[in-house]
Amino acid sequence: MSMHPLLQRRYRLDEAPVPFVLNGTAETGRRGDTVLTAILSVSGRLRQSEFTGENRAGFCLIGACQDCYVMLADGSRVRACSTALQPGMAFITDLGAMAEAVHE
Ligand code: FES
């Protein structure tokens, strides 16, 4: 299934690039991005629900609902809407890859 990015970057196009990894693929965000902004600028979903498999993209976007938690490659989780993107962050947002990471 092809998924176009959910967000289209229109402002701050000249901010410094910030490299990150999404499900094993090298991607680039911009300085000042939240994790949510960076992921949705390159993907049609933020993550898949662990319970239903449905695509999620966050809900409140103000740090209140916890719908935007994403897993990092080390197994820790961050709230994507209120976490600043840092160079080198690696995210796992596909259900299959999440299950493998948890059982390693
Ligand atoms: S979208 Fe609600 S806490 Fe991040």
> Is the CB of residue 79 below 6 angstroms from any atom belonging to ligand 1?
yes
| Domain contains 3 | no
Res 3: pLDDT = 79
The closest alpha carbon to 43, from 2, 101, 99, belongs to 2
Instruction: Read off the amino acid at residue 89.
Output: M
- Residues with Cβ within 8 Å of 104's Cβ and at least 6 positions away in sequence, in order, are none
| Domain contains 41 | yes
| Domain contains 60 | yes
The residue range of the domain holding 72 is 17-103
| Domain contains 70 | yes
Taking only the tens of pLDDT, the chain with its 104 residues reads 447 999 999 988 999 999 999 999 999 999 999 999 999 999 999 999 888 999 999 999 999 999 999 999 999 999 999 999 999 999 999 877 766 766 66
Ligand 1 center to residue 2 CA distance, Å?
A: 25
Res 94: pLDDT = 87
The structure tokens listed for 75 are 């197994």
| Domain contains 10 | no
Cα–Cα distance for residue pair 24/99, rounded to 1 Å: 15
Res 1: pLDDT = 44
- The CATH number covering residue 71 comes to 3.10.20.740
Ligand 1 center to residue 40 CA distance, Å?
A: 14
> Alpha helices of the chain — where are they, by DSSP H?
35-40, 95-103
